[in-house]
A and B are shown apart, each in its own frame.
Chain A
Amino acid sequence: MIINFKGAETYLGTGGKSLDINKRTLCFLHGSGQNHLSFIQQARFFAYKGYSVIVPDMPAHGFSDGNPCKSIKENAEWINDLLVKLNLKDVVIIGHSQGCLVALELNRILKNSLKALIFVAGSNEIPVNQFLLDLSKENPQKASQMMVTWGHGIDGDMSINKWPGHSHYGEGNNIMCMNKPTALKYDLHSCNDYSNGIDAAKNIKVPALAVLAKNDQMTPLKSGLKFVELIKNCETHILDCGHFLPSERPMELNSIINSFLSKLK
């Protein structure tokens, strides 16, 4: 659905079901240069399981207008304001990649409404190399293509997809092309500049789940494992795939998340 938020048309994927503020809401946060389509196989799945689902396109991403947020903190504040506007009081945040950093900051802002945090292919820090930072400014399309290639495991190279007929590379490139050209640059700088991760992770008080990818080249497994050590009682799973875990291993990821959610109060 499209809403007017902070003076800009803002798109929220709801998984094909209406948003019901009285239900537990799963809020999915996309990664750098991505949009709601990162969670094609999660949004409908959990909406049809009875949860309320929102997958916002961050400003300047996907179907959302507006100017891109310029820091992880700004992203988190934008999401917080959105949740307040929608009057959502029982929220589980599910971040992928950059979305995990935003989730960490949200943990500092959200008070009683936050019920759990789920980190998919995440870490407490996502340093970005200078070459990619520069390329995202000079040639965002080329930078996107490189990220799509690096980001996928062997399934990307071999055009293996759980969704019959779909190509990770072809689909991934076009998803990133849907964003405004400046979106990627600000996303990558936001990730690179973020430094609150360690403190934020140590301060998590709600139940936490981390699903990491064995062949992740964007947020390497080693970094992810250090991250989960910072979180008290973080349930951790490792799947055999690349960084784009939501599309590379949708069934396994959904099953892990579903099981985690079923244990929440």
Chain B
Amino acid sequence: MSENYKFDTLSLHAGHIPDKETGSRAVPIYQTTSYVFNSTEEAASLYNMEVGGHLYTRISNPTVAALEQRLAALEGGASALACSSGMAAMHLVVSAICSSGDHIVASSKMYGANINLLQHTMPRFGVNTDFVNPNDPEAIKSAIKPNTKLVFGEVIGNPGLDIMDVPEIAKICNSKNIPLVLDATFNTPYLMQPFKHGANIIVHSLTKWLGGHGIAIGGAIVNGGNFDWGDKDKFPTISGPHFALGGISFWEEFGPSALIAKIRAEGMYNFGPSLSPTNAFHLMQGIETLPLRMKKHIENTHTILDFLVNHEMVEWVKHPDLDTHPDHEVAKRILPKGSGSIVAFGIKGGREAGKAFIESVKLASHLANVGDAKTLLIHPGSTTHSHLSSEAMKEGGLTDDMIRLSVGLEDINDITKDFERGFKAVKKLNK
């Protein structure tokens, strides 16, 4: 009897049922590089992609596959592929779809590494990107050229927290037959499932909320299966004959899963950014509690927003769930459960005040990560961007006084108490 299990159940179970031999309730860690073939015929079948199975862990692994299938189920996608990091996922998608001479339209307000890849690295391989305001659908439409092969953005931008109007952008991409690729790390499938809004491909940094405990780096691509790759002139390496496997057409042979089949056969095979089985296990442990954690992340975020908005030492607070945020209405529409647990705020007193605050808090951890169960903080002006002048920071959408906060799961009173300690230090400095 089909059960059509719900999100919370799939978070715990999808991708694994206990095997008959051992009955192991947890997903076993298949810490192996390779798999014994029962016959030369079976080996050939796997190499020729005649049937599914595992032949070498760089390409696939049973523990990693359980994670992939869990992600596909949670996102409502046709297929998924896990890899060594979110940036590896991003590069795998770009290199699978684009070739030299192709063009990308991307959001101008994204994570620095995503911008670096598209602005500096890919042009060396003949793939150029125009960056446009993600909140301006007309600008995105105008930037699309005949050789544009994908539109890329972040559902919730990092670090600016801009919200992309996914349904609007998806309509534009759909009308131009271009896939919409979204980094959905900050929202996770718990807060929003981009395929339901018309997106075609999702990339995740699993390191963040999905893994949720700051113990394993990983990334994933989830393929919606809802994009028609059949235009052989536009997507020749997906729908036309590919050099691999005697001229295979991934679109004809794999249909909705063409992109993932291609990435596995080409990207994983040739570049090799595989995820270790142990890290896949750790990440799955995180996903098991994703719904519980996300509820608490959002609850704590809303409490801390109240605290910060009303604090005398705080100059400004930015979060899409605040009605002062320019994308608040879009956020309400596409992220009704909440717009994530990253908060940006400015401390009265500028760069020195930010530094003093960061150095005075004890419970919140000062580090360069987000999405941990623990509360994390960073002051870009005195760390990641300390080499930049105030003016240069402004050009990048950052300010001297800005603190990026990743709200954790602690008792929120302990966090506000900790922050008061930081504000006290700032007050002392300002005197």
Contacts and interface: CB of A to CB of B under 8 A. Distances in A.
A171 B4 contact: no
B245 A159 contact: no
B52 A250 contact: yes
Interface in B253-273: 253-257, 260, 264
A137 interface: no
B230 A166 contact: no
A165 B2 contact: no
A121 B48 CA distance: 27
A44 B78 contact: no
A231 interface: no
Interface stretch (B66-74, B130-138, B155-163): B66-74
Given A166-B78, A170-B225, A175-B256, A156 B2 contact: yes
Interface residues of A, number: 42
B69 A166 contact: yes
Given A41-B51, A48-B45, A160-B16, A166 B79 contact: yes
Interface string B48-75: 1111111000001110110011101100
A129 B50 CA distance: 36
Contact of A152 (B2, B10, B52, B78): B2
A18 B125 CA distance: 35
B295 interface: no
A192 interface: no
A63 B252 CA distance: 9
A162 B53 contact: yes
Interface in B124-170: none
A167 B60 contact: no
Contact of B253 (A35, A40, A173): A40
Given A167-B77, A167-B79, A159 B51 contact: no
B60 A250 contact: no
A44 B257 contact: no
A159 B62 CA distance: 13
A251 interface: yes
A182 interface: no
Interface string A228-247: 00000000000000100000
A134 B260 CA distance: 35
Interface of B: 1-5, 10, 13-17, 44-45, 48-54, 60-62, 64-65, 68-70, 72-73, 76-82, 224-226, 230, 245-248, 252-257, 260, 264
Given A41-B50, A158-B13, A164-B62, 13 more contacts: A16-B253, A48-B44, A48-B48, A63-B252, A158-B14, A158-B17, A162-B51, A164-B52, A165-B60, A174-B78, A175-B256, A242-B2, A251-B53
